[in-house]
Amino acid sequence: MASAATTTDVLIVGAGFAGMYMLHKLRQAGISGQVVEAGSGVGGTWFWNRYPGARVDIQSLEYSFGFDEGLQREWRWSERYAPQPELLAYADHIADHFDLRRDIRLDTRIAAATWDEAAQRWRIATDTGDGYDCRYFILATGCLSIPTEVSFPGIEDFKGSIYRTSRWPHEGTDFTGQRVGIIGTGSSAIQSIPVIAAQAAQLTVFQRTPNYSVPAHNGPIPPADLEAWERDPRGYRAASRDTVGGFQNEARTDVLATESSPEDIRAELDRRWAWGGFRLLGAFGDTAIDPAANRIIQDFIAEKIREQVADPKVADLLTPKQHYFGTKRPCVDTGYFATFNRDNVELVDLHAAPIVTFNTGGIATTARQHDFDAMVLATGFDAMTGAIDRIDIRGVGGRRIQDHWAEGPRTYLGLTVAGFPNMFTITGPGSPSVLTNMINSIEQHVEWIADCLSWLADRQMASIEATPEAEAAWCRHVAEAVTPTLLPTANSWYMGANVPGKPRMFMPYAGGLNTYTDICNQVAAKGYEGFTIRAGETILSDSREFSSHPPMPDIPAKLMPIIVERLTAAGFMPA
């Protein structure tokens, strides 16, 4: 393979926002990069997820890059929450504006990557038979790129059309006059159901688990936000990045729902509901930890569902009861619940009537036959690890990433993996990623990686590798950060719970983007502590420890007993 391989400093997998910004940032540092992308266009998530109603769930003013003044000034979003075509246009604009396409190869998958210890380089193989020889290997593969391989008995017999939300046809679909069925009630389904219902003759929604959804109240960008942004775009972005979630949320960590009066709670939740989107998450400091506080928000949302859905039985079925609010990423909708008031929409509760089989006409549940012209599968993703462990990645000594991650993904800082030198993950497991505004997390990762590679180049170093000790300490910290919260209690894709056989482990870092950024900066400032850095026989640094722990947050006294109990039970504090 070596003779057929193209040489580059850095091979980047994926031409979504992460891969494109990485390429641009490396070029600025004088480092050559090549992006390889499986799709036939750039845009990642926004290239693939073209289902009707697809749009971002973070306000576009914040879900956009801040690294370039010109880009910021010339791009204007048409709505608070941009729709998929506009997000894809933004991705294309970035590719053109920064002249990235000449180093992006489309329609090509990376099949394998092998670390050559002697040369301290990665040997990369594509699915077209050629390859790359590179110093650094960067996985910008996205957290929600690989659809779950759900399969239903008899699905191959179905005579109608089958669509996956995550692989929607580029030419679009026309459901006019059709009977459509949709499986799933996650974010993709909740966004597409109102749009499909408005077009199709009949829409049947097969629901296994109801989800919390808050209204987007989409429309023009709120004037106050636009003014604040226009006054000081840099300051606006910095304020977004200096938050737990990477977006401005008016978080009130010191106000507890369980200590507030019913009138104050109501006023605050009503205000946030009217504003829309994720702002509900920041209302009180105890809802992510204390079940009693979470219950208050659950009851509030249940009431909002009852207000929107005319049939009390349907409203009850649509009300989540099996997980706490916020333990799965809440959905942000436009008219979802009210869609169930339409005469042409039916809700099927899969707990009461499970699917027995697909057949030529449609779906047979234990209750009856449902006939369809088209089926939509909105059944989710093999999140966070799916796109990485489908590549045959072999590190030091030929160790496979799948083996290293057999009990769940292990990383140092969510950026690197022990035994896999010079390999970086952007928004990988162990980083805040999917708990945040992804664009801000991407910016932070790309900038940290580019700084690291420049630092190594300045010192003429050939490789950087997380030590097993630092990786173990980081994994422990990731587990410790989430343990006090309710997050691990849900069967979420954060936990790997939606993929049969996937290890159950909370994958993203729940300590907050702001805290995480501080930790990463401290690690770099200490000369990349927790890494072995070398060129051939020369070892520049071999600091095994990871000592850059965050300061203890200010925790309201009332929550301390719950937190201590959970940390003790999990072995993080002595009994």
Q: Report, in Å, the least distance between residue 557 CB and ligand NA7.
A: 33
DSSP 24-66: HHHHHTT--EEEE-SSSSS-THHHH---TT-B-SS-TTTSS--
Q: Report, in Å, the least distance between residue 470 CB and ligand NA7.
A: 30
Closest by CA to 522, choosing from 547, 557, 553, 489, is: 547
Q: Report, in Å, the least distance between residue 52 CB and ligand NA7.
A: 14
Residue 103 CA to residue 34 CA, distance in Å, equals 5
Residues 6+ apart with CB under 8 A from 562: 289, 290, 484
Q: Report, in Å, the least distance between residue 58 CB and ligand NA7.
A: 10
Q: Report, in Å, the least distance between residue 51 CB and ligand NA7.
A: 9
Q: Report, in Å, the least distance between residue 189 CB and ligand NA7.
A: 6
Question: How many Cα atoms are found within 13 Å in the side-chain-facing hemisphere of 335?
Answer: 12
Q: Which runs of consecutive H residues, i.e. helices, occur in 200-248?
A: 223-231, 233-241
Amino acid at 118: A
Q: Where are the beta strands (DSSP E) in 432-568?
A: 463-466, 531-535, 538-542
Q: Report, in Å, the least distance between residue 90 CB and ligand NA7.
A: 17
CB nearer to ligand NA7: give 102 or 368. 368
Residue 131 CA to residue 2 CA, distance in Å, equals 8
CB nearer to ligand NA7: give 350 or 457. 350
Helix axes 233-241, 223-231, angle to 10 degrees: 110
Residue 111 CA to residue 124 CA, distance in Å, equals 8
Residue 96 CA to residue 75 CA, distance in Å, equals 13
Residue 32 CA to residue 27 CA, distance in Å, equals 6
The neighbour count for residue 536, using CB atoms within 10 Å, is: 11
CB nearer to ligand NA7: give 498 or 532. 498
Q: Report, in Å, the least distance between residue 304 CB and ligand NA7.
A: 19
Q: Report, in Å, the least distance between residue 518 CB and ligand NA7.
A: 25
Structure tokens at 380: 């989710």
CB nearer to ligand NA7: give 150 or 251. 150
CB nearer to ligand NA7: give 48 or 424. 48
Task: Give the angle 274-277-278 at the CA atoms, nearest 5°.
Answer: 115
Q: Report, in Å, the least distance between residue 380 CB and ligand NA7.
A: 3
Q: Report, in Å, the least distance between residue 151 CB and ligand NA7.
A: 8
Q: Report, in Å, the least distance between residue 255 CB and ligand NA7.
A: 27
Residue 21 CA to residue 30 CA, distance in Å, equals 14
Q: Which residue's beta carbon is nearest to the bound ligand NA7?
A: 186
Residue 71 CA to residue 25 CA, distance in Å, equals 14
CB nearer to ligand NA7: give 184 or 508. 184
CB nearer to ligand NA7: give 142 or 512. 142
CB nearer to ligand NA7: give 49 or 114. 49
CB nearer to ligand NA7: give 183 or 423. 183
Residue 115 CA to residue 135 CA, distance in Å, equals 9
Residue 84 CA to residue 395 CA, distance in Å, equals 37
Given the rule CB under 6 A, which residues bind ligand NA7?
144, 150, 165, 183-189, 208-209, 329, 350, 378-381, 493, 498
CB nearer to ligand NA7: give 186 or 408. 186
Structure tokens at 552: 């203890």
Q: Report, in Å, the least distance between residue 245 CB and ligand NA7.
A: 12
Task: Give the angle 188-190-194 at the CA atoms, nearest 5°.
Answer: 115
Closest by CA to 146, choosing from 433, 384, 428, is: 384
Task: Output the 3-class SS for 379-426.
Answer: CCECCCCHHHHCCEEECHHHCEHHHHCCCCCCCECCCEECCECCEEEC
Q: Report, in Å, the least distance between residue 232 CB and ligand NA7.
A: 29
CB nearer to ligand NA7: give 26 or 189. 189
Phi, psi at 154, each rounded to 5°: 75, 5
Tokens 């910004």 sit on residue? 21
CB nearer to ligand NA7: give 290 or 333. 333
Helix (H, G, I), strand (E, B) or coil at 498: coil
CB nearer to ligand NA7: give 205 or 418. 205
> What is residue 176's DSSP assignment?
B
Q: Report, in Å, the least distance between residue 208 CB and ligand NA7.
A: 3
CB nearer to ligand NA7: give 202 or 433. 433
- Helix, strand, coil tally for the chain in percent (to 5): 35, 20, 45
Q: Is 480 exposed, middle or buried (0-12, 13-18, 19+ CB in 10 A)?
A: middle
CB nearer to ligand NA7: give 383 or 417. 383
